[in-house]
Structure 1
């Protein structure tokens, strides 16, 4: 669960809001947080401000926690947040993901590490995945647990069940190994970043929503003039409305469309009709503000 959205709105009153990143997790299981929040100002004569401690506050929407500060401010503002506890409504009552009363985090990590060992050390595999330039051993039960597509392959009298092999011809051996590392829970962040486009394709093909959401969130974080049109096509192909909105905001609301006019014209010649309509609708909405 990621809690990284801290926004500040300053007019005559300073509004500080704390809310989670919008994702499937935060929508289905919004965090329940206990925390302290305070503010320091660089002006020497300005006192530090502190909000009364917040306990068991559900944070789902931007309006769930708002701290209005009417005191005049000057200089640099530093906002400090100290989380005391964080709970999720995975069961009733909600339980803390930090306290050891449920299950020590170290024990969970040991179990996850052991699962990863099954892949990395080739422990008793019972299925072979063949790709475009190699093969990787794996385990039916783990694949079936993580993907309904794999589950269907092994549950019905298909060739994958009979031959104990799966042919994945549209992935390289390196991408296939990284895909399995994600499934087994031992993928590294830098490796994920490198192969996220291949992982998105696999997540969509094999119906793994959490991987698709992880790719979706990652692809929104580094949109620029060099990749915005490619990301738009990806968003359209894999039905990622959040990614599409982020791309549209990048070159419409932030004025980037004027910096990439030639690329934009080339893009319009090949983009599908629905995507072009969305772009011009975004442009029209932006112009309403002038």
Structure 2
């Protein structure tokens, strides 16, 4: 009698290419429409508002999925992400959107049944990162679901494990970091990190110690890492304040130290989102130090753009890069 997950009964994946230079001056509330596409026996269209749907959205582009068939209600999963200048999907998690919605039969045949995002992406970000020539391209996926099945709620195991961490129920090990104490559960740490498993259940002395003192990590970093281990989530960036870049750098080091591969990738993506001519050298050094090959490659690609290189070489991060990783400097100079 267990619940059955929704079944996808039809789908359509397509690219919506927009001549942005042509439509970017459209006033707020005026949309540019895609051609109609078919998925699951229904017709669908994309509405793109280059200046936002409403005045509150005017600094953003808005994008919506419109159900153009009026025959019957339908459940749908709609995903949108940006295509980069390299014609590959954007890696930025903050630039990917997903919704699961039931489109109802509308009594008013002239009304529009739309769902989407008023603040999909800031216009300045779209123009800076995704405008290729005159165009921007959205990759869209429409998946029709059989909503006759019993709906299954999303997993909440992270929420429950987070409560376990908060209430310290059944903790059997503690960590002391700069005189702050953090309580945890050996089995949870061992399940998530092979390094913790070796330390807490192997022949190391820590396996029998009720309290372990850690060095080379700050209490703030350890606290965020510990919560990620339990919940698989990071705090929102505004909760980290102005030190979010430093926190992601420290978490990258901690993730590498404890072989938390997913946390390492998440931090690499967060740092890539913060790359600029002022930060690229420092972030490149961290990528090289902690074996983040994808982040390293992207930083080098950014660095070797001539206009970026001419500015980045005057930063403190570049001076540090010259001292620690001269081989990277030599590689970049060959490509500039």
TM-score (norm 1): 0.64
Aligned partner of 2:190 in structure 1 is: 144
CA distance in 2, matches of 1:226, 1:47: 39
Pick aligned residue for 1:83 from 141, 145, 149: 141
CA distance in 2, matches of 1:114, 1:147: 19
Structure-to-structure mapping, 1:126-137, within 5 angstroms = 126-137=172-183
Aligned partner of 2:305 in structure 1 is: 253
Tell me if 1:154 matches 2:204.
no
Q: Is the 8 A contact 2:189 2:229 kept in 1?
A: yes
Structure-to-structure mapping, 1:1-290, within 5 angstroms = 34-35=12-13, 42=23, 49-53=35-39, 83-85=141-143, 104-106=152-154, 108-109=155-156, 111-185=157-231, 186-190=233-237, 191=239, 193=244, 195-253=247-305, 255-263=307-315, 266-267=319-320, 269-283=322-336
Q: Is the 8 A contact 2:302 2:308 kept in 1?
A: yes
Aligned partner of 1:89 in structure 2 is: none
Higher strand share: 2
Deviation, 1:149, is 0.6
TM-score (norm 2): 0.56
CA distance in 2, matches of 1:180, 1:100: 40
Number of residue pairs matched by the alignment = 224
SS in 1 for 2:168: coil
Deviation, 1:119, is 0.8
Q: Is the 8 A contact 1:131 1:170 kept in 2?
A: no
Distance of aligned partners of 1:113 and 1:235 in 2 relative to their CA distance in 1, 3 Å threshold: same
SS in 2 for 1:279: helix
Deviation, 1:265, is 6.9
Tell me, which stretches of 5 or more residues in structure 1 are unaligned? 1-31, 56-60, 65-75, 87-95, 284-290
SS in 2 for 1:229: helix
Q: CA RMSD in A?
A: 3.8
SS in 2 for 1:170: coil
CA offsets 1:214-266 (integer angstroms, 9 cap, x no match)? 11111111111221111111011011122222222223225211224433873
Distance of aligned partners of 1:269 and 1:82 in 2 relative to their CA distance in 1, 3 Å threshold: closer
Tell me, which stretches of 5 or more residues in structure 2 are unaligned? 1-9, 42-85, 90-133
Q: Is the 8 A contact 1:132 1:170 kept in 2?
A: no
CA distance in 2, matches of 1:189, 1:122: 23
